Amino acid sequence: MAHSVEGHLKLKIAEYDRLIRTFVYQYDAMRAVHLDLLARCMPRDGGLVLDLGGGTGALAAAVAEKFPAARVQILDTDPAMLAFARERCAAFGDRVEFVEKSFAAPLPACDAVVACIALHHVKDMAAKGRIYRNIFAALRPGGVFANADTVMDSRPHEREHYFAVWRGWMQARGHTEAEARQHHANWAGEDYYPPLSTELRLLAEAGFTEPDCFWRDEHQAVFGGIK
């Protein structure tokens, strides 16, 4: 499940943090939801957070800064992104660990698992179900899984509404409509955005007794479960 962000998004890693906010609807709002959920669920004495597909380390750095006793492990298969994350998170010392590993592999015991616009690269729903089972198995009781990602309706008219909203977001941030449409066409080769109902079903099958959507705005959501 190797993945190159530079190749997929057609950008330089140094530009990622700026450009991702022009590509992804409500990117910063999802970060706030992640941190709020962790504040509710993390043990007072710290604990371990796994960041799946952690990329440039932006989410890991935000977690490490907000929770000074916590440790964060970034899992990513893109060595260039991990190198960038090492620089970004250097100030946190050994509290942030960098692991070049697929998030589809078994995971270590932890207190929380987070992901941000990473798991939509898994197009096979059986494979995604196995990832969710690995996450459930890794979480300690009371631990939270929070996945920030795109969810799409299976009905064509609703899908078109969401894509129109998404194109509008990109246009308001400097992309033309033609560029926005081309981005979506380019990403379709690697990305798949299941309906939220599919995601919640997979989470329930993985063992989460009350899978939930913690936050949603149009086609963007933070969903998961508490063990």
Fold of 5-226: Rossmann fold (3.40.50)
Q: How far apart are CA 151 and CA 212, in angstroms?
A: 13
- Write down the pLDDT at residue 7: 42
- Write down the pLDDT at residue 6: 42
Give strand pairing partners of 75: 52, 99
Sorted by where each begins, the domain ranges of the chain are 5-226
Model confidence at 11: pLDDT above 80: no
pTM over 0.85: yes
Q: pLDDT, tens digit, for every residue of 51-66?
A: 999 989 999 999 999 9
- Write down the pLDDT at residue 16: 83
Q: How far apart are CA 157 and CA 169, in angstroms?
A: 19
What is residue 154's DSSP assignment? S
Q: How does residue 200 score in pLDDT terms, banded at 50, 70 and 90?
A: very high
Q: How far is CA 1 from CA 105, 119, 185, in A?
A: 10, 11, 21
Tokens representing 124 are 């096979």
